[in-house]
Chains A and B, each alone.
Chain A
């Protein structure tokens, strides 16, 4: 694997990011509405209004604002949110970590269950188990995520009282046995502090939102895994392996799955992107203070520093994830090692 390749890929991301800033900026400017509305009373005095315009640089021409924004972004300053009045960088750090935590747990669920059910479905192709898994994955694609979220909340929270309805941790634990904030991820921070009680509470709060989030992406992974596996399961080299007397488990997991991996990796990469950005409704139902909720609130308030900041953050994550997927191909398929240079 060449460092040069990685640097080239990352350098290519810079124009993409500049493009995202530009599009997000001018789209927000062009949208109807007054972004200062949320900051001011119903009838601000002319002086109050002018002061707010100056405070957020809205008294300059759009072109001046755009240039200033590009300059500031280059230094890592994303400006101050019109909605929260905080530095966008700080907002994104808090919301980003919360979303990453949720998305990573969801990703683990997606990849483990998605691939396992996909493989199972392919091996049992045409039989009852395959049909059942087919229905499950169809449900994931068809059911609105919002609806699924409320249904699982009704079942596991309101009826069975097994899991909490929302939030990131039990308030009492945070009040009476707090743990130091190191990463912002409650899961990691409570683990580092060896605070078992808190860790369990965080995990319990993650189960429902992460599962709901994972369900849709998982459906896609199941289908892709199934079809990729079906392609390889009937390949001549699999017949050969069987003819040599290899055990079925070894044939399926080592030979067939390994060869089916490239399309699965691609869809897993896409799935991770979807988990990061598709979390708005899940975050809203489960009160998860992440990027999805932040994006929605920023757009509604026409908070252009917030909108651009969140677009940049999501683009960056996509670029990095895509890069990681590209780097993983050669690991899965040795034939690609020569080209990834």
Chain B
């Protein structure tokens, strides 16, 4: 009897020890392990915006979506911090000899949070549902002709024609489109489960949505079906309170009620640097995202005149603009930041420095006088909330006044700003390059290719067949050397003709409490808040 009881006790203890504690934090701890303070298992990230939907086939806003990637939804491949492509949901991939078919070998044993298996059929389902719903980042996936499951864990992605940037698309946050077919089927309704997937998740990532109180907070919990069990002292919940007011965000971070905050506005960066227990990080992203630049309306007078555009580019004191950002921006030198290797080319991108003699020469070449007579009155739009844009414009206004250009600076909310761009009614407008995918084609296909000069397009009027030919060649060839030459030529054409006014490259400012470890800066995405890799020590 004694041995039986002993055996029973031992087996119970063994089972207890082997069971992953994936259902939530245990305030008192289990077994002989030291009790874990529940506060140390909760990661609080202050956010200033919330998504309109958690459905990865619907959501379009980078700012709200990439933060949830890859905690909830994952992609087939992903970037390492060095920029190399690493396995994600796929272990390996090969390209066919005609450069049109990518074959992915999927990781085995991966499950969605509802318990359904992740397999080749689920990959096909993800791409197909994106196409059916026709919302979100559909344009990025348009080069895909079809997805063909070969066996349970092998899938072919077939392209309409060779398209080099596809791996960058698949590795970007917009490539995290794999949802459980089972959950979608269970909640299909009349809208392909869009209503359900808006505030529920069914991904393969380590976390899943627990609750969402609109305008208040979003709570994620551990995905019980995640492929690696969670340690008891690891992060069990991620809470994201919506904090619209930067001053409040700063106070809560300084007091330790918030562990992490990102997209810091320049005004709170400095006070946070001196707050105890807070570490402010300023990092650079690789791609063309976060570039602060200005659109000219190229199809209308006066900005159809290349000499006037060059004169403006020569009139600006770029170094002064950087000061507006409290140390979180560097001067821009073309469409790509210097860190976007190997694509950025200082040799090919024309570098503009303030030089009023050159500005005068350009005006003369364009048949204009210096200063302009009569003076030119221009309305410049900036994006409300981005107060640094307004501050930079106030400085530029002083600069361009010297060549006879008078700015009227106008604040616009997203609906007004987008309409002005989409309908080409603006004269000059500030924009921030969106985070799409880490390939030079991202910027070119969005804002430079002539097909995008259309209603609801993002091209300010560039319709140059020679530029189009280069963009198409850059997409079609997979040869790195050839692509490098192509994008160097494009950088040269764009900057030589001042098709955009590139001002500064904003860096990514974010802050964390010093007791939080394991947040990885990945220049391809931004700070990677992977809840399963983050640890939180006792409050300091």
Contacts and interface: CB of A to CB of B under 8 A. Distances in A.
Interface of A: 32-35, 37-49, 51-52, 83-86, 91, 94-95, 150, 153-154, 157-158, 161, 164-168, 171-172, 175-176, 284-287, 289, 293-294, 297, 300-302
B39 to A, nearest CB: 7
A35 B415 contact: yes
Given A37-B414, A153-B247, A302-B413, 10 more contacts: A33-B419, A39-B52, A43-B452, A157-B251, A165-B248, A166-B241, A175-B38, A284-B245, A285-B248, A300-B384
Q: Is the interface of B mostly helix, strand, loop or mixed?
A: mixed
Contact of A94 (B214, B418, B434): B214
Nearest to B257: A165
A35 B413 CA distance: 11
Nearest to B39: A172
Contacts of B138: 45, 48
Contact of A165 (B42, B255, B384, B457): B255
A84 B417 CA distance: 20
A33 B415 contact: yes
Interface stretch (B98-106, B129-137, B472-480): B129-137
Q: Of A37, A172, A176, which is in contact with the most chain B CB atoms at under 10 Å from its CB?
A: A37
B339 interface: no
Contact of A86 (B214, B417, B458): B214
Interface in B252-272: 252, 254-255, 257
Nearest to A32: B416
A152 to B, nearest CB: 11
Contacts of B244: 284, 287, 293
B215 A289 contact: yes
Contacts of B452: 43
A293 to B, nearest CB: 6
Q: On chain B, which size bracket covers the interface?
A: 35 or more
A55 to B, nearest CB: 9
A161 B255 contact: yes
B27 A176 contact: yes
B415 A38 contact: yes
Interface of B: 27, 38-39, 42, 44, 52-53, 60-61, 134-139, 198, 213-217, 219, 237, 239, 241-245, 247-248, 251-252, 254-255, 257, 384, 412-419, 422, 434, 446, 452, 454-458
Contact of A46 (B27, B456, B458): B456
B248 A41 contact: no
Contacts of B255: 157-158, 161, 165
B430 to A, nearest CB: 14
19 contacts: A33-B412, A33-B415, A39-B60, A39-B135, A40-B456, A41-B139, A43-B457, A44-B139, A46-B455, A48-B135, A86-B198, A153-B248, A172-B38, A172-B42, A175-B38, A175-B237, A287-B243, A287-B248, A297-B215
B214 A47 contact: no
B217 to A, nearest CB: 7
A157 B257 CA distance: 11
A300 B416 CA distance: 9
A83 B52 CA distance: 7
A309 to B, nearest CB: 14
B139 A45 contact: yes
Nearest to B194: A85
Contacts of B412: 33
B457 A171 contact: no
